[in-house]
Structure 1
Amino acid sequence: MPHFPLFHGSRDTRRHDGRDYDTTNFSAIKKRCANPAAVEKQEAPAFIPSSYIGHLARSHEAQRQSGQFHAMIIDVDTGAHRIDFVQNCIERIIGDRTVIIYSSSSATEDNPKWRGIIPIRYPIAGADYKDVQEALFDLLAEQGLHADYAMARTGQPVYLPNVPPSRRNENGEPLFYQYSISGSSGLLHVPEAVAARAATNKAQRLEAEREAKKAALERAEKNRKLSEASGGPSIIETFLAENDLTTLMLEHGWLPRGGDWFASPFSQSKGRSVWVTDQRAVSFTTSDAGRIGKTTDNGWTTYDAWDVYVACVHGNNMRVALLEYRQQCGYEQRALHHMLEMWGLS
């Protein structure tokens, strides 16, 4: 039976003393479900579902390189779903296999929140764990169950059953706590549906990287020609050097959806559909088409910070955007200074 690093609270670390972590296993976790801890969150027990228990076990990079993960994990904090709905959504993906579900420490009757642990006999390599987890979350989202994509990170703590004293009555009984352990046997491997979605996501991401690089090169070539004509950086080049894409996106209605993913303000579903890589976004939702940036050959949309500025601040009026930013950034003075530098007169 695999053993996993066990710790208590966010500050409990062995990084500096070189010792291995204490451990737990699935049998112990099941027992905890029946008898949840009664401590505040800063002391709450947590684990990482990897068999790497060394002093760097809480490091995302160490677990990515050395970790072998024996469970898929979900964390559901939104939707106020009941436990049977969560269980049914998971079972549609994994079948009649073991799944451990319990309410989180901040859950209430009116606002239930859940953690789910899906044991797997043959482990997932740390390098593949993020892809597998995100594929699982995508499949759950299609059923209306939205898991926190932060749980795809290899060093992310999984808090174990705990109902703090502040959420218990005068007799020490939880005001709200539920758990379920179901399934006839544990999974041997990652379910086919999850593996297939992970492969599809990876292929899509690689193609998106190619499209982003292609669009970035086209932008760079246009900027180069404008720079040659003006004798200094172009207005767009100046803007891109001074503005961060994700900052502008968040200012204008994009919603974070975990890691490098966002929901478009033009999308009705508000699901994760926009991926950002190296200061360029690739959108997979048709809601963005024709509203911002450039449509790719395969029907996606790609845009950078300048495209967001033009679309969201100036209603896609490029001329007005150029004129306003030229005045705002003092472009003429910058261009003059650049020319004087070139002539050695600055």
Structure 2
Amino acid sequence: MAPPCVPKDNARWFIASSYAQPDARSHAAQAERGTFWALPVDVDSGNPSLEAVEAALMAVLGDVRWLVYSSRSATEDARKWRALVPLEGPLPGADYADTQAAFFALLDAEGLACDPALTRPGQLIYTPNRGAFYTYSLRSDPPRLTLTASAVVRQREADRSLRAAAEAAQHARTERLRLERLEQLRDGPSPIEAFNAANPVPDLLAHYGYLRAGASCDWRSPMQTSKSYATRAASDWWVSLSASDASSGLGAVSRAGAAYGDAFDLFVHFEHGGNRETALRAVLAGLWEGGSC
């Protein structure tokens, strides 16, 4: 049976989770209570062919079951795709965002840029809906994807390990600076502490041209060559898995190769070309005032 042809506002949608209570569209609720049974993909840019989408999926996942179909707004000159990869076992909501981010990073390495909105657990997935251009490919014979044995989970766990090590290094660095500060027996906060307190990391990321993945904690560095969101940030620290960031001299670099730092590290790199001494002089001189110096 052919799919319907209706305006997007009337199109059918679902969330690939067994949690279906009134708050099921809440990202937080799905992350806490959801159980997911498919990995969705949304490709709205790059105009890839159906064959290119399938080749990327095959390279990342191997011989598994999937459905790929063109989206309602696709045309022959601007092809857009959605894909669904059913899972053999459940994926806890707490692991969904990191799993999708790892999946999309692997697809990006194969030349397929995915919409990061689908890293959010409560994001809607639209079912097939015919537009001016509609085609699809269904692989129903291969088995469902076993995540635990997949490259996706290996990538996810590698990313988590890198972030954890870099976060630990940044926290240790902060504590070391705090203890050094106590030993100096000076009144009031140090210039760097004062700068960090006045400049939340997300504000500076936006100021320096980072692109945020929706309302998440993940950002894309202006120095990245890939389309992934390799920087994760809190109010007072950031960690980047981008090799471009690590090689640029931004912040510090962990033994595993992840870059990390705080707001002042961003200021040093983007405003003073990595010269920490001149950056500190600028702060001491009061030249930094809410995003300009």
TM-score higher than 0.5: yes
Name 1:198's counterpart in structure 2: 156
Does residue 177 of structure 1 match 2:134? yes
Structure 2 Cα separation of the partners of residues 266 and 138 of structure 1: 16
Name 2:189's counterpart in structure 1: 233
Shift of 1:87: 1.4
Name 1:116's counterpart in structure 2: 83
Matches within 5 A, 1:121-270: 121-163=88-130, 174-187=131-144, 189-190=146-147, 191-225=149-183, 228-229=185-186, 231-257=187-213, 259-269=216-226
What amino acid sits opposite 1:36 in the alignment? P
Higher RCO structure, 1 or 2 (CA under 8 Å, sep 6+): 2
Q: The residue matched to 1:328 in structure 2 has which SS?
A: coil
Q: The residue matched to 1:202 in structure 2 has which SS?
A: helix
What amino acid sits opposite 2:190 in the alignment? S
8 A Cα contact 1:261 1:275, kept in partner: yes
Name 2:266's counterpart in structure 1: 308
Cα deviation digits, residues 120-172 of structure 1 (max 9, x gap): 24322222222332232222122111222321222111122235xxxxxxxxx
TM-score, L = length of structure 1:
0.73
Shift of 1:111: 1.8
Matches within 5 A, 1:288-307: 288-289=246-247, 291-307=249-265
Among 60, 66, 73, which residue is 1:93 paired with? 60
Structure 2 Cα separation of the partners of residues 186 and 194 of structure 1: 16
Q: The residue matched to 2:137 in structure 1 has which SS?
A: strand
Structure 1 Cα separation of the partners of residues 225 and 101 of structure 2: 21
Question: 5+ unaligned residues in a row in structure 2: which ranges?
Answer: none
Cα deviation digits, residues 94-141 of structure 1 (max 9, x gap): 334321112223322222111101122432222222233223222212
8 A Cα contact 2:201 2:235, kept in partner: no
Structure 2 Cα separation of the partners of residues 323 and 93 of structure 1: 49
Does residue 284 of structure 1 match 2:250? no
Q: Highest CA radius of gyration, 1 or 2?
A: 1
TM-score, L = length of structure 2:
0.85
Structure 1 Cα separation of the partners of residues 243 and 152 of structure 2: 25
8 A Cα contact 1:235 1:326, kept in partner: yes
Deviation larger for 117-126 or 238-247: 117-126
What amino acid sits opposite 2:6 in the alignment? A
Structure 2 Cα separation of the partners of residues 153 and 325 of structure 1: 38
Shift of 1:286: 4.1
Structure 2 Cα separation of the partners of residues 256 and 316 of structure 1: 23
Shift of 1:224: 4.3
What amino acid sits opposite 2:240 in the alignment? S
Q: The residue matched to 1:122 in structure 2 has which SS?
A: strand
What amino acid sits opposite 1:213 in the alignment? H
Shift of 1:71: 0.9
Does residue 324 of structure 1 match 2:279? no
Shift of 1:55: 1.8
Aligned-pair Cα RMSD in Å: 2.7
Name 1:55's counterpart in structure 2: 22
Shift of 1:222: 4.3
**Count of aligned pairs:** 286
8 A Cα contact 1:122 1:189, kept in partner: yes
Structure 1 Cα separation of the partners of residues 124 and 288 of structure 2: 48
Distance 1:115 1:210, change over 3 A: same
Question: 5+ unaligned residues in a row in structure 1: which ranges?
Answer: 1-30, 164-173, 332-346
Structure 2 Cα separation of the partners of residues 313 and 64 of structure 1: 38
Structure 1 Cα separation of the partners of residues 83 and 132 of structure 2: 20
Q: The residue matched to 2:202 in structure 1 has which SS?
A: helix
Structure 2 Cα separation of the partners of residues 179 and 72 of structure 1: 17
